[in-house]
Amino acid sequence: MSRLLAVGPALPGTAHPQSEITDTIGPLLTRSPATRAVLARLHAASGVRTRHTALALDEYAGLTSFGAANDHFIRVGTDLAEEACRTALDAAGIDPGEVDFLLFTSVTGIAAPSIDAQLVTRLGLRTDVKRLPSFGLGCVAGAAGIARVHDYLVGHPQDVALLVSVELCSLTLQHGDDSMANLVSTGLFGDGAAAVVMVGDAHPAGRPPTLPDGATRDPGARGTRAERASAARTPPRGVEVVDTRSRLYPETADHLGWTIRDSGFGIVLSAGLPEVIAAHLAGDVKSLLVEHDLTTEDVGTWVVHAGGPRILDVVRDSLGLDEADLRHSRESLAAVGNLSSSSVLHVLAATLDAQRDDAPGEGAGQHGVLMAFGPGVSAELVLLRRTASPLEG
């Protein structure tokens, strides 16, 4: 087992109304009034009300080269990653120097040394921290990141791991591209980052401290920062990662991804993507749950990547869920747009915040399923279980 201790979401700048973004981006994509009208309708139907952008809106007119866009990605992305990590580490009561494994993911920019390397100095991580930067998983990487960190912690149960996602989708803007895929994507994707702190089940923050019968931990007692913080405050509800599933659907590579151009990343986004998910999702979820003697009725919480209105509709209908099950996903989509790999982590943060004062209970409703979809087409499922505290074994 591994345990998820905290999620730190981060967003750049202030939120811009969707209509303001549409008015700014429209002239950069097309000069056709008819196409601009189509753009406005698509953006209005995206389920997005506001989005955050890495740059001020008036700067996008001059953003015409991949090099310039990528320079902004490194600069802004590193700052956002640091903010997200500090938020998550502070919430978990973990010192940066305790982190043993760092997984970084993005699909909207590249760097060598990668952004995670810059975080070592900025955060005060140990120089022997194990780093694993990842590119190409796209929107699925938030869920896949949790799953791969879980795999690491099963083999290193005393370790602390940090998952970091940075996605600055606005920097991939392609001037003069009035394709339907680009018109849709420029109204859907937003900018943001997130970090997740996880520990193995032998780490002090993942199990109760060993104390004599009836004794309690003195908040001023010596020990690791994690032990002191856990003793000094009422800890948040714990979340165990129970199991994971990865799926890659053959012959679907043309549904989602990038074409690499001289000007940067050009979106590949097929109208058939929801149908691919609809054809497989119910069976994939069932195969994950059945190994734990569970059905969808036993799942009390659904943490779904906010991929867009049609994606969320397909998840709801395929699994027989209520709209209430997707509340946090719809709200995240409306407030910040689809944040690619960071999206499901923002939904997870909102879900945990909403549940913080709720007793986890026993049996039905104690479990949750986190899911995301990405290029491939691929899907990642994570089975979670709520416990009363991150210090419970």
Catalytic residue numbers? 139
Position 185, amino acid: S
Sign of the dihedral defined by the CA atoms of residues 315, 317, 319, 322, in that order: positive
C-beta separation of 166 from 193 below 8 A: yes
Give, for 7, the enclosing helix (H) or strand (E).
strand 2-10
DSSP letter string over 52-81? E-SS-GGGGGG---HHHHHHHHHHHHHHHH
Strand partners, 4: 198, 239
| Cβ partners under 8 Å of residue 106, min gap 6 | 73, 77, 115, 134, 135, 141, 165, 166, 167, 341
State phi, psi for 372 to the nearest 5 degrees: -155, 165
What CA–CA distance (Å, rounded) separates 354 from 373? Answer: 24
Angstrom CA distances, 300 to 86, 237, 366, 369, 378, stand at 30, 15, 6, 9, 24
Query: Which SS3 state, helix, strand or coil, does residue 214 take?
Result: coil
